[in-house]
Amino acid sequence: MKRIMIACFALFLSSCSTLNIQPTKLAHQQTLLSVWGAHGRLSVSVNNDTKTSGFEVSFNHHDYKLILSTAFGFGQISIESNQQKLLINGESINLTFDQWMTREMGWYLPIDTLAKILFKNEINSVHHWLIKISRYQLIGGIKYPKVIRFNHLTKPIKIKLLVNEINQLK
């Protein structure tokens, strides 16, 4: 009886090692949303000077609103862009987003490619930037980037974007 039990146990253990267990592949978002929002934190390093802030971004097709806030929420800046103009805290500016951010902040974020990065996982389509996604998160059964790193190819700009939440807006 003892031998039968040992033989059964050995067969059980050997069958466990032959099971084909593959990691579950999580689905990426398949469609590029046109009305969406996200928020989180960002860390920017320019010439080894690092600053952090919170961010909220909402897109309605090609129009967007980006709010950058200080670490403890004591100050914020609102940047809105539509087809006609760029508004900074409600004031119209005659510069592009990249030009204004570079002039005022010393850096810029390739904001027009965020949707492709977040929803299509496309990281090779951004001019002048090397982009890496180092961590993912599961939201509603879909795998989205959690940590996105941007390294500018010709300027000493490094941006780490920590995405806390992504929403489809209506």
pLDDT tens digits, 9-60 = 565 656 555 544 444 454 555 567 789 999 999 999 999 899 999 999 999 9
In 3D space, the residue among 159, 163, 38, 35 whose CA is nearest the CA of residue 102 turns out to be 159
Q: Which domains does the chain have, with CATH numbers?
A: 30-168 (2.50.20.10)
DSSP at 26: P
Q: Which of 133, 99, 107 is nearest to 118 (CA)?
A: 133
Q: What is the pLDDT of residues 77-122, one digit of tens each?
A: 999 998 889 999 999 999 999 999 999 999 999 998 898 888 888 8
